[in-house]
Amino acid sequence: MFVQPLPGSGLCARDPLIPLPAAWECDLDTNAIRWSPGVYDLFGIPRGAPVTRDDIVAMYTPESRGLLEAVRSRAIAEGGSFTIDVQIQRRDGAVRRMRLTADVQFEQGRPVRLYGTKLDVTDE
């Protein structure tokens, strides 16, 4: 499934994340991912370019990739949210530190969506 750009109005009209520039969401049934323009910028990918989840996860350093998959799986299985600091290597070779927040949306007791923000914390 390819990453789809978020419309200019934000993730969903009801989401409190609308004003945040680096918001994202993942449909857990299809693995379809949507990004706001700030996420493309953070990863150094041209806005609107097609990217798969596998492409994105491959940009995380090995240690960060393992952490991401572990906390993501746990949040989906148990319900909940997480915040982690990870490293990515952009396509231009630059290494960035990123703070990733995520929450799981459930419908009728089933996890259906993962959503959150990504923030460049390289200079912190």
Q: Is the pTM of this model over 0.85?
A: no
Nearest in space to 24 (alpha carbons), one of 71, 54, 56, 61: 56
Instruction: Look at residue 5 in the predicted model and tell me its pLDDT.
Output: 52
**Structural domains counted in the chain:** 1
Burial annotation 26-47 (CB, 10 A radius, 16+ → b, else e)? bebeeeebbbbebbbebbebee
Please write the tens of the pLDDT for every residue from 4-33.
555 543 445 445 444 456 999 999 999 999
- Answer yes or no: is 113 within a domain: yes
Q: Is the pLDDT of residue 43 over 90?
A: yes
Task: Identify the domain containing residue 85 by its residue range.
Answer: 23-120
| CATH code of the domain in which 34 resides | 3.30.450.20
- Answer yes or no: is 10 within a domain: no
